Amino acid sequence: MKKTILSVGWGAELRAEILDKVESLNSGEINFFHIVETGPRSKCVNPTAPENIHFVSVPNFPQVSHEDRRFLEKLEVEGIPTIRSMIAGDPYLRYLDSELALGYASMLAKTILKIIEDKKPLIVLASNDRLISSIALAVAYKTKTQFVAMAFTVIPDNRAWFIERMTPNSLISLKLGSNQGISVEETRKTLSGFYQKLTKPAAYVAPRSMMSAFFEGFMLFGNKLKRYVSAKHEGDSRFGTFSFWQAASNRGRRLLNRASLIGLDMVTTPPKDKFAYYPMHMSPESMVDTWAVFHQNQLGLLKQIALALPLDMKLVVKLHFSDPDSYSAHELSALTKITGVLIASPDADARTFLESASLVFGITGTSCLEAALLGKPTIIFADTPYLEFPNNVRAKLPDELFTQIREMLRRSPPSQEEIEKAFVRYANRYLPGRVNDWNIPLCTADVEKYNRCFKELVNHVLKEKSKSP
Protein backbone atom coordinates (compact mmCIF):
# COMPACT_ATOMS: atom_id res chain seq x y z
CA MET A 1 0.00 0.00 0.00
CA LYS A 2 1.43 3.38 -1.02
CA LYS A 3 1.63 6.19 1.51
CA THR A 4 1.25 9.58 -0.13
CA ILE A 5 2.95 12.66 1.25
CA LEU A 6 1.71 16.00 -0.11
CA SER A 7 4.50 18.60 -0.26
CA VAL A 8 3.53 22.27 -0.21
CA GLY A 9 5.91 25.14 -0.90
CA TRP A 10 9.03 23.06 -1.56
CA GLY A 11 11.33 24.41 -4.27
CA ALA A 12 12.34 22.43 -7.35
CA GLU A 13 15.92 21.81 -6.18
CA LEU A 14 14.97 20.39 -2.79
CA ARG A 15 12.21 18.28 -4.31
CA ALA A 16 14.73 16.77 -6.72
CA GLU A 17 17.57 16.40 -4.20
CA ILE A 18 15.56 15.06 -1.26
CA LEU A 19 11.96 14.04 -1.96
CA ASP A 20 12.45 12.43 -5.37
CA LYS A 21 15.45 10.46 -4.09
CA VAL A 22 13.63 9.36 -0.94
CA GLU A 23 10.75 8.16 -3.11
CA SER A 24 13.10 6.17 -5.34
CA LEU A 25 14.64 4.44 -2.31
CA ASN A 26 11.27 3.23 -1.06
CA SER A 27 10.27 0.98 -3.97
CA GLY A 28 6.82 2.53 -4.18
CA GLU A 29 6.12 2.38 -0.43
CA ILE A 30 6.20 6.19 -0.12
CA ASN A 31 5.24 8.54 -2.93
CA PHE A 32 5.13 12.32 -3.05
CA PHE A 33 2.66 14.68 -4.68
CA HIS A 34 3.65 18.34 -4.93
CA ILE A 35 1.73 21.60 -4.92
CA VAL A 36 3.85 24.21 -6.68
CA GLU A 37 3.05 27.91 -6.92
CA THR A 38 3.84 29.71 -10.17
CA GLY A 39 3.17 33.16 -11.56
CA PRO A 40 0.98 33.88 -14.60
CA ARG A 41 4.12 34.38 -16.76
CA SER A 42 5.86 31.18 -15.67
CA LYS A 43 7.15 28.86 -18.38
CA CYS A 44 7.47 25.87 -16.04
CA VAL A 45 3.87 24.79 -16.67
CA ASN A 46 3.94 22.67 -19.82
CA PRO A 47 2.27 19.55 -21.26
CA THR A 48 5.23 17.38 -20.25
CA ALA A 49 5.06 18.39 -16.57
CA PRO A 50 5.29 15.41 -14.18
CA GLU A 51 2.00 13.85 -13.14
CA ASN A 52 2.88 14.19 -9.46
CA ILE A 53 2.96 18.01 -9.57
CA HIS A 54 -0.03 20.35 -9.39
CA PHE A 55 0.94 23.82 -10.59
CA VAL A 56 -1.04 26.66 -9.03
CA SER A 57 -0.91 29.59 -11.44
CA VAL A 58 -1.61 32.59 -9.21
CA PRO A 59 -3.16 35.63 -10.94
CA ASN A 60 -1.81 39.06 -10.12
CA PHE A 61 -5.15 40.22 -8.73
CA PRO A 62 -6.99 37.33 -7.03
CA GLN A 63 -10.45 38.32 -5.81
CA VAL A 64 -11.79 37.64 -2.32
CA SER A 65 -15.55 37.15 -1.99
CA HIS A 66 -17.78 37.12 1.08
CA GLU A 67 -17.74 33.30 0.90
CA ASP A 68 -13.94 33.31 0.72
CA ARG A 69 -13.77 35.35 3.93
CA ARG A 70 -16.14 32.97 5.70
CA PHE A 71 -14.03 30.05 4.49
CA LEU A 72 -10.84 31.61 5.88
CA GLU A 73 -12.58 32.48 9.16
CA LYS A 74 -13.47 28.82 9.68
CA LEU A 75 -9.79 27.89 9.39
CA GLU A 76 -8.96 30.04 12.42
CA VAL A 77 -9.14 27.61 15.34
CA GLU A 78 -7.12 27.05 18.49
CA GLY A 79 -3.52 26.06 17.76
CA ILE A 80 -3.57 27.53 14.22
CA PRO A 81 -2.08 30.96 13.35
CA THR A 82 -4.69 33.59 12.53
CA ILE A 83 -4.97 34.65 8.90
CA ARG A 84 -3.72 38.13 9.85
CA SER A 85 -0.64 36.63 11.50
CA MET A 86 0.01 34.45 8.44
CA ILE A 87 -0.02 37.57 6.25
CA ALA A 88 2.14 39.54 8.70
CA GLY A 89 4.63 36.65 8.84
CA ASP A 90 5.00 36.46 5.07
CA PRO A 91 7.98 38.54 3.81
CA TYR A 92 6.09 39.53 0.63
CA LEU A 93 2.40 39.67 1.53
CA ARG A 94 2.97 42.14 4.35
CA TYR A 95 3.71 44.83 1.76
CA LEU A 96 0.62 44.16 -0.38
CA ASP A 97 -2.96 45.34 -0.18
CA SER A 98 -4.87 43.31 2.42
CA GLU A 99 -7.61 42.35 -0.05
CA LEU A 100 -5.06 40.90 -2.46
CA ALA A 101 -3.41 38.98 0.38
CA LEU A 102 -6.77 37.55 1.47
CA GLY A 103 -7.60 36.57 -2.11
CA TYR A 104 -4.24 34.81 -2.40
CA ALA A 105 -4.73 33.03 0.95
CA SER A 106 -8.21 31.86 -0.03
CA MET A 107 -7.04 30.59 -3.41
CA LEU A 108 -4.19 28.60 -1.88
CA ALA A 109 -6.33 27.19 0.92
CA LYS A 110 -9.04 25.99 -1.48
CA THR A 111 -6.43 24.45 -3.80
CA ILE A 112 -4.77 22.57 -0.93
CA LEU A 113 -8.17 21.44 0.37
CA LYS A 114 -9.18 20.06 -3.04
CA ILE A 115 -5.89 18.19 -3.47
CA ILE A 116 -6.20 16.66 0.01
CA GLU A 117 -9.77 15.57 -0.71
CA ASP A 118 -8.73 14.07 -4.07
CA LYS A 119 -5.39 12.47 -3.14
CA LYS A 120 -6.13 11.68 0.52
CA PRO A 121 -2.48 11.98 1.58
CA LEU A 122 -1.28 10.48 4.82
CA ILE A 123 0.87 13.56 5.54
CA VAL A 124 1.08 17.20 4.46
CA LEU A 125 4.72 18.32 4.30
CA ALA A 126 5.28 22.09 4.24
CA SER A 127 8.29 24.35 4.43
CA ASN A 128 8.97 26.70 7.36
CA ASP A 129 8.21 30.08 5.86
CA ARG A 130 5.58 32.15 4.05
CA LEU A 131 1.81 31.98 4.28
CA ILE A 132 1.67 28.88 2.06
CA SER A 133 3.08 26.80 4.94
CA SER A 134 0.77 28.20 7.61
CA ILE A 135 -2.32 27.90 5.41
CA ALA A 136 -1.33 24.28 4.69
CA LEU A 137 -1.28 23.68 8.44
CA ALA A 138 -4.78 25.16 8.79
CA VAL A 139 -6.22 23.05 5.96
CA ALA A 140 -4.48 19.88 7.19
CA TYR A 141 -5.96 20.45 10.64
CA LYS A 142 -9.42 20.95 9.13
CA THR A 143 -9.17 17.67 7.21
CA LYS A 144 -7.56 15.78 10.13
CA THR A 145 -4.43 15.14 8.06
CA GLN A 146 -1.03 14.99 9.77
CA PHE A 147 0.90 18.22 9.11
CA VAL A 148 4.70 18.36 9.34
CA ALA A 149 7.60 20.63 8.46
CA MET A 150 11.28 19.77 8.75
CA ALA A 151 13.37 21.04 11.65
CA PHE A 152 17.14 20.89 12.09
CA THR A 153 19.68 21.24 14.87
CA VAL A 154 22.49 23.78 14.67
CA ILE A 155 24.66 22.30 17.43
CA PRO A 156 25.25 19.50 16.49
CA ASP A 157 24.67 20.35 12.85
CA ASN A 158 23.70 16.84 11.76
CA ARG A 159 20.27 16.00 13.14
CA ALA A 160 16.78 16.51 11.67
CA TRP A 161 13.16 15.68 12.39
CA PHE A 162 9.63 17.05 11.98
CA ILE A 163 7.51 19.63 13.76
CA GLU A 164 3.70 19.45 13.58
CA ARG A 165 2.88 23.13 14.06
CA MET A 166 4.59 26.38 13.07
CA THR A 167 6.63 26.46 16.29
CA PRO A 168 10.08 24.87 16.63
CA ASN A 169 9.26 23.06 19.87
CA SER A 170 6.31 21.11 18.40
CA LEU A 171 8.54 18.16 17.54
CA ILE A 172 6.76 14.87 17.00
CA SER A 173 7.64 12.42 19.77
CA LEU A 174 10.39 9.94 18.90
CA LYS A 175 11.27 6.46 20.09
CA LEU A 176 14.91 6.13 19.11
CA GLY A 177 16.54 2.87 18.08
CA SER A 178 19.80 1.76 19.67
CA ASN A 179 21.88 3.32 16.88
CA GLN A 180 19.85 6.52 16.42
CA GLY A 181 20.54 8.43 19.62
CA ILE A 182 23.50 10.78 19.95
CA SER A 183 26.48 8.83 21.27
CA VAL A 184 28.59 9.72 24.29
CA GLU A 185 31.54 10.23 21.97
CA GLU A 186 29.66 12.59 19.66
CA THR A 187 28.22 14.50 22.64
CA ARG A 188 31.66 15.09 24.11
CA LYS A 189 33.17 15.96 20.74
CA THR A 190 30.38 18.44 19.94
CA LEU A 191 30.49 20.15 23.33
CA SER A 192 34.29 20.22 23.32
CA GLY A 193 34.24 21.90 19.92
CA PHE A 194 31.75 24.47 21.22
CA TYR A 195 33.71 25.26 24.38
CA GLN A 196 36.94 25.56 22.41
CA LYS A 197 35.16 27.89 19.95
CA LEU A 198 35.77 25.48 17.08
CA THR A 199 32.04 25.08 16.34
CA LYS A 200 30.72 27.91 14.21
CA PRO A 201 27.24 27.52 12.70
CA ALA A 202 27.17 28.23 8.98
CA ALA A 203 25.67 31.66 8.35
CA TYR A 204 25.61 34.45 5.80
CA VAL A 205 27.80 37.44 6.70
CA ALA A 206 26.55 40.79 5.42
CA PRO A 207 28.93 43.13 3.57
CA ARG A 208 30.94 45.25 5.96
CA SER A 209 31.40 48.39 3.86
CA MET A 210 29.01 50.74 2.08
CA MET A 211 30.68 49.99 -1.24
CA SER A 212 30.35 46.22 -0.89
CA ALA A 213 26.75 46.59 0.32
CA PHE A 214 25.92 48.71 -2.73
CA PHE A 215 27.61 46.19 -5.04
CA GLU A 216 25.70 43.29 -3.46
CA GLY A 217 22.43 45.18 -3.97
CA PHE A 218 23.31 45.77 -7.62
CA MET A 219 24.06 42.06 -8.13
CA LEU A 220 20.79 41.01 -6.45
CA PHE A 221 18.83 43.40 -8.65
CA GLY A 222 20.56 41.98 -11.73
CA ASN A 223 19.66 38.43 -10.69
CA LYS A 224 16.06 39.48 -10.14
CA LEU A 225 15.94 41.03 -13.60
CA LYS A 226 17.28 37.81 -15.16
CA ARG A 227 14.62 35.74 -13.39
CA TYR A 228 11.90 38.09 -14.59
CA VAL A 229 13.10 37.96 -18.21
CA SER A 230 13.36 34.17 -18.21
CA ALA A 231 10.17 33.66 -16.16
CA LYS A 232 11.28 30.08 -15.57
CA HIS A 233 11.36 30.09 -11.79
CA GLU A 234 8.58 28.63 -9.72
CA GLY A 235 7.04 31.03 -7.25
CA ASP A 236 7.66 34.10 -9.42
CA SER A 237 4.19 35.54 -8.81
CA ARG A 238 3.89 38.89 -7.07
CA PHE A 239 3.06 36.91 -3.91
CA GLY A 240 6.33 34.97 -3.92
CA THR A 241 8.80 37.75 -4.69
CA PHE A 242 9.18 41.49 -4.33
CA SER A 243 8.11 43.84 -7.07
CA PHE A 244 10.97 45.80 -8.62
CA TRP A 245 9.77 48.88 -6.75
CA GLN A 246 9.56 47.11 -3.38
CA ALA A 247 12.93 45.41 -3.87
CA ALA A 248 14.56 48.75 -4.73
CA SER A 249 12.79 50.43 -1.81
CA ASN A 250 13.95 47.80 0.68
CA ARG A 251 17.51 47.90 -0.63
CA GLY A 252 17.55 51.68 -0.55
CA ARG A 253 16.25 51.73 3.03
CA ARG A 254 18.95 49.30 4.11
CA LEU A 255 21.69 51.33 2.44
CA LEU A 256 20.47 54.46 4.23
CA ASN A 257 20.38 52.53 7.50
CA ARG A 258 23.92 51.33 6.89
CA ALA A 259 25.10 54.88 6.25
CA SER A 260 23.39 56.16 9.40
CA LEU A 261 25.10 53.52 11.57
CA ILE A 262 28.48 55.06 10.79
CA GLY A 263 27.72 57.81 13.27
CA LEU A 264 26.18 55.57 15.94
CA ASP A 265 28.20 54.99 19.10
CA MET A 266 28.49 51.19 19.35
CA VAL A 267 30.45 49.09 21.83
CA THR A 268 32.79 46.34 20.63
CA THR A 269 33.62 44.72 23.98
CA PRO A 270 31.42 43.77 26.94
CA PRO A 271 30.92 46.44 29.63
CA LYS A 272 32.59 45.91 32.99
CA ASP A 273 29.26 46.42 34.77
CA LYS A 274 26.65 43.69 35.20
CA PHE A 275 24.58 43.44 32.03
CA ALA A 276 21.87 41.52 30.21
CA TYR A 277 22.42 40.55 26.60
CA TYR A 278 20.01 40.45 23.66
CA PRO A 279 21.33 39.44 20.23
CA MET A 280 19.08 40.81 17.48
CA HIS A 281 17.36 38.29 15.20
CA MET A 282 17.41 38.62 11.45
CA SER A 283 14.40 40.39 9.95
CA PRO A 284 12.63 39.22 7.90
CA GLU A 285 13.37 35.59 8.76
CA SER A 286 11.16 32.59 9.36
CA MET A 287 12.62 31.93 12.84
CA VAL A 288 10.72 35.01 14.02
CA ASP A 289 8.18 35.80 11.31
CA THR A 290 6.69 32.29 11.20
CA TRP A 291 7.74 30.69 14.48
CA ALA A 292 7.21 33.74 16.71
CA VAL A 293 5.15 36.23 14.71
CA PHE A 294 3.96 38.13 17.80
CA HIS A 295 7.56 39.13 18.52
CA GLN A 296 8.32 40.58 15.08
CA ASN A 297 8.62 44.07 16.56
CA GLN A 298 11.98 43.55 18.22
CA LEU A 299 12.40 47.22 19.10
CA GLY A 300 9.11 47.11 21.01
CA LEU A 301 10.20 43.90 22.73
CA LEU A 302 13.54 45.45 23.66
CA LYS A 303 11.79 48.41 25.25
CA GLN A 304 9.78 46.00 27.42
CA ILE A 305 12.99 44.22 28.45
CA ALA A 306 14.83 47.47 29.20
CA LEU A 307 11.97 48.82 31.32
CA ALA A 308 11.86 45.58 33.33
CA LEU A 309 15.59 45.42 34.12
CA PRO A 310 16.87 46.36 37.59
CA LEU A 311 18.66 49.71 37.65
CA ASP A 312 22.01 48.10 38.45
CA MET A 313 21.99 46.20 35.12
CA LYS A 314 22.81 47.43 31.66
CA LEU A 315 21.27 45.98 28.51
CA VAL A 316 23.53 45.22 25.54
CA VAL A 317 21.73 44.85 22.22
CA LYS A 318 23.97 43.33 19.55
CA LEU A 319 23.21 43.90 15.88
CA HIS A 320 23.13 40.69 13.84
CA PHE A 321 26.23 40.14 11.69
CA SER A 322 24.00 38.83 8.87
CA ASP A 323 21.51 41.66 9.16
CA PRO A 324 23.14 44.82 10.55
CA ASP A 325 21.05 47.30 8.57
CA SER A 326 17.48 46.35 9.44
CA TYR A 327 17.32 49.38 11.72
CA SER A 328 18.51 52.96 11.40
CA ALA A 329 20.63 54.85 13.89
CA HIS A 330 17.54 56.95 14.69
CA GLU A 331 15.49 53.85 15.59
CA LEU A 332 18.30 52.42 17.71
CA SER A 333 18.95 55.76 19.40
CA ALA A 334 15.39 55.69 20.72
CA LEU A 335 16.47 52.60 22.66
CA THR A 336 19.70 54.11 23.95
CA LYS A 337 17.72 56.98 25.48
CA ILE A 338 16.57 54.43 28.05
CA THR A 339 19.08 54.38 30.90
CA GLY A 340 21.75 51.70 30.55
CA VAL A 341 20.99 50.48 27.01
CA LEU A 342 24.04 49.94 24.78
CA ILE A 343 24.25 48.90 21.13
CA ALA A 344 26.98 46.41 20.22
CA SER A 345 28.58 46.42 16.78
CA PRO A 346 27.64 43.60 14.41
CA ASP A 347 31.38 43.01 13.93
CA ALA A 348 31.98 42.43 17.66
CA ASP A 349 32.63 38.88 18.91
CA ALA A 350 29.23 37.63 20.09
CA ARG A 351 30.79 34.87 22.20
CA THR A 352 32.57 37.35 24.48
CA PHE A 353 29.25 39.05 25.25
CA LEU A 354 27.56 35.72 25.94
CA GLU A 355 30.33 34.63 28.28
CA SER A 356 30.31 37.93 30.19
CA ALA A 357 26.54 38.43 30.43
CA SER A 358 24.69 37.88 33.70
CA LEU A 359 21.45 37.18 31.84
CA VAL A 360 20.52 36.43 28.21
CA PHE A 361 17.29 37.14 26.34
CA GLY A 362 16.19 35.62 23.03
CA ILE A 363 13.25 34.64 20.86
CA THR A 364 14.17 31.52 18.86
CA GLY A 365 17.82 32.09 17.91
CA THR A 366 20.86 29.86 18.27
CA SER A 367 22.24 32.24 20.92
CA CYS A 368 19.69 30.77 23.35
CA LEU A 369 21.27 27.34 22.82
CA GLU A 370 24.79 28.74 23.14
CA ALA A 371 23.82 30.52 26.35
CA ALA A 372 22.34 27.27 27.69
CA LEU A 373 25.56 25.37 26.98
CA LEU A 374 27.42 28.07 28.93
CA GLY A 375 24.99 27.70 31.83
CA LYS A 376 23.74 31.28 31.50
CA PRO A 377 20.26 32.10 32.83
CA THR A 378 18.21 32.68 29.69
CA ILE A 379 14.70 34.07 29.22
CA ILE A 380 13.13 32.97 25.93
CA PHE A 381 10.07 34.63 24.38
CA ALA A 382 8.98 31.83 22.04
CA ASP A 383 8.32 28.11 22.22
CA THR A 384 11.67 26.56 21.32
CA PRO A 385 13.40 23.22 22.01
CA TYR A 386 16.06 25.18 23.89
CA LEU A 387 13.65 25.23 26.83
CA GLU A 388 14.95 21.68 27.50
CA PHE A 389 17.94 23.18 29.33
CA PRO A 390 17.97 23.75 33.11
CA ASN A 391 18.65 27.50 33.09
CA ASN A 392 16.33 28.41 30.18
CA VAL A 393 12.76 29.55 30.87
CA ARG A 394 9.82 30.93 28.88
CA ALA A 395 9.22 34.64 29.39
CA LYS A 396 6.25 35.68 31.47
CA LEU A 397 3.91 38.65 30.91
CA PRO A 398 5.55 42.12 30.70
CA ASP A 399 4.36 43.16 34.16
CA GLU A 400 5.85 39.93 35.61
CA LEU A 401 9.18 40.23 33.81
CA PHE A 402 11.00 42.22 36.52
CA THR A 403 10.21 39.54 39.13
CA GLN A 404 11.23 36.80 36.71
CA ILE A 405 14.53 38.55 35.98
CA ARG A 406 15.35 38.84 39.68
CA GLU A 407 14.52 35.17 40.22
CA MET A 408 16.73 34.12 37.28
CA LEU A 409 19.65 36.17 38.58
CA ARG A 410 19.43 34.38 41.94
CA ARG A 411 19.68 30.94 40.35
CA SER A 412 22.77 28.82 40.86
CA PRO A 413 24.43 27.82 37.58
CA PRO A 414 23.77 24.23 36.47
CA SER A 415 26.57 21.70 36.70
CA GLN A 416 28.36 20.51 33.58
CA GLU A 417 26.74 17.11 34.06
CA GLU A 418 23.26 18.72 34.05
CA ILE A 419 24.09 20.62 30.87
CA GLU A 420 25.35 17.48 29.13
CA LYS A 421 22.25 15.48 30.10
CA ALA A 422 20.01 18.27 28.83
CA PHE A 423 21.99 18.42 25.59
CA VAL A 424 21.51 14.69 25.03
CA ARG A 425 17.75 15.03 25.66
CA TYR A 426 17.61 17.94 23.23
CA ALA A 427 19.62 16.20 20.49
CA ASN A 428 17.62 12.99 20.86
CA ARG A 429 14.41 14.74 19.92
CA TYR A 430 15.81 14.51 16.37
CA LEU A 431 17.14 11.72 14.17
CA PRO A 432 20.55 11.65 12.42
CA GLY A 433 20.37 14.06 9.47
CA ARG A 434 22.70 16.62 7.96
CA VAL A 435 23.62 20.29 8.13
CA ASN A 436 20.83 22.63 7.04
CA ASP A 437 22.98 24.38 4.42
CA TRP A 438 21.77 23.77 0.88
CA ASN A 439 24.96 25.18 -0.63
CA ILE A 440 26.57 21.90 0.41
CA PRO A 441 25.61 19.13 -2.06
CA LEU A 442 23.79 16.12 -0.65
CA CYS A 443 25.67 12.83 -0.75
CA THR A 444 24.21 9.33 -0.81
CA ALA A 445 24.56 8.99 2.97
CA ASP A 446 22.57 12.22 3.46
CA VAL A 447 19.70 10.95 1.33
CA GLU A 448 19.68 7.65 3.22
CA LYS A 449 19.39 9.56 6.51
CA TYR A 450 16.47 11.57 5.16
CA ASN A 451 14.92 8.34 3.96
CA ARG A 452 15.07 6.92 7.48
CA CYS A 453 13.46 10.11 8.79
CA PHE A 454 10.53 9.83 6.37
CA LYS A 455 10.08 6.10 7.01
CA GLU A 456 10.02 6.72 10.77
CA LEU A 457 7.53 9.54 10.22
CA VAL A 458 5.20 7.38 8.13
CA ASN A 459 5.35 4.56 10.67
CA HIS A 460 4.59 6.99 13.50
CA VAL A 461 1.57 8.47 11.71
CA LEU A 462 0.22 5.03 10.82
CA LYS A 463 0.54 3.87 14.44
CA GLU A 464 -1.26 6.98 15.68
CA LYS A 465 -4.03 6.46 13.14
CA SER A 466 -4.46 2.86 14.24
CA LYS A 467 -5.10 4.10 17.80
CA SER A 468 -7.87 6.45 16.68
CA PRO A 469 -11.43 5.19 17.13
- Taking only the tens place, the pLDDT of each residue in 68-125 is 999 999 999 998 999 999 999 999 999 999 999 999 999 999 999 999 999 999 999 9
pLDDT digits (tens, 9 = 90+) for 153-175: 999 999 999 999 999 999 999 98
Beta strands (DSSP E) in 209-299 are 275-279
Look at residue 219 in the predicted model and tell me its pLDDT: 86
Q: Which CATH architecture describes the domain 181-201+265-430?
A: 3-Layer(aba) Sandwich (3.40)
Residue 232 burial (10 A CB sphere; 0-12, 13-18, 19+) = middle
pLDDT digits (tens, 9 = 90+) for 373-430: 999 999 999 999 999 999 999 999 999 999 999 999 999 999 999 999 999 999 999 9
SS3 163: strand
Beta strands (DSSP E) in 408-448 are 431-432
Cα–Cα distance measured from residue 326 to residue 148, given in angstroms and rounded to the nearest whole number: 31
Average pLDDT over residues 223-251: 77
SS3 381: coil
Cα–Cα distance measured from residue 381 to residue 396, given in angstroms and rounded to the nearest whole number: 8
Residue 264 burial (10 A CB sphere; 0-12, 13-18, 19+) = middle
Look at residue 47 in the predicted model and tell me its pLDDT: 52
Confidence of residue 44 (pLDDT cuts 50, 70, 90): low
Look at residue 128 in the predicted model and tell me its pLDDT: 85
Q: In sequence order, what are the beta bridge partners of 132?
A: none
Q: What angle do CA 27, 6, 26 make, to 5 degrees?
A: 10
Look at residue 217 in the predicted model and tell me its pLDDT: 80
Maximum CA pair distance of the chain?
A: 69
CA nearest to 59, candidates 113, 88, 100, 98:
100
Look at residue 76 in the predicted model and tell me its pLDDT: 96
Cα–Cα distance measured from residue 286 to residue 89, given in angstroms and rounded to the nearest whole number: 8
Contact 372, 391 (CB under 8 A): yes
Look at residue 40 in the predicted model and tell me its pLDDT: 64
Confidence of residue 437 (pLDDT cuts 50, 70, 90): confident
Which of 15-19, 34-38, 126-130, 377-381 is modeled with the greatest confidence? Answer: 377-381
Average pLDDT over residues 342-354: 95
CA distances from 9 to 45, 59, 132, 288 (A): 16, 17, 6, 19
How does the average pLDDT of the chain come out, rounded? 91
CA distances from 224 to 67, 167, 239 (A): 36, 31, 15
Look at residue 224 in the predicted model and tell me its pLDDT: 77
CA nearest to 419, candidates 188, 163, 126:
188
Contact 214, 16 (CB under 8 A): no
Express as a percent the part of the chain with pLDDT over 90.
Answer: 69
Backbone torsion region of residue 427, taken as left when φ is above 0, otherwise alpha when ψ lies between -120 and 50, otherwise beta? alpha
Q: What angle do CA 90, 96, 99 make, to 5 degrees?
A: 105
Contact 244, 224 (CB under 8 A): yes
pLDDT at 48 over 60: no
pTM: 0.92
SS3 149: strand
Identify which has the larger pLDDT, 39 or 400: 400
pLDDT at 231 over 70: no
Look at residue 43 in the predicted model and tell me its pLDDT: 58
SS3 242: coil
Average pLDDT over residues 425-442: 91
Look at residue 68 in the predicted model and tell me its pLDDT: 95
CB count, 10 Å around CB of 55? 16
E strand or H helix that includes residue 333: helix 329-336
Cα–Cα distance measured from residue 414 to residue 420, given in angstroms and rounded to the nearest whole number: 10
pLDDT at 8 over 90: yes
pLDDT at 29 over 80: yes
What is the residue extent of each domain of the chain? Answer: 3-180+431-467, 181-201+265-430
For 366-372, the CB contacts below 8 A with 24+ separation are 366/154, 366/155, 366/201, 367/279, 368/392, 369/154, 369/155, 370/155, 370/194, 372/419, 372/422
Cα–Cα distance measured from residue 157 to residue 188, given in angstroms and rounded to the nearest whole number: 14
Phi and psi at residue 326, to the nearest 5°: -70, -25
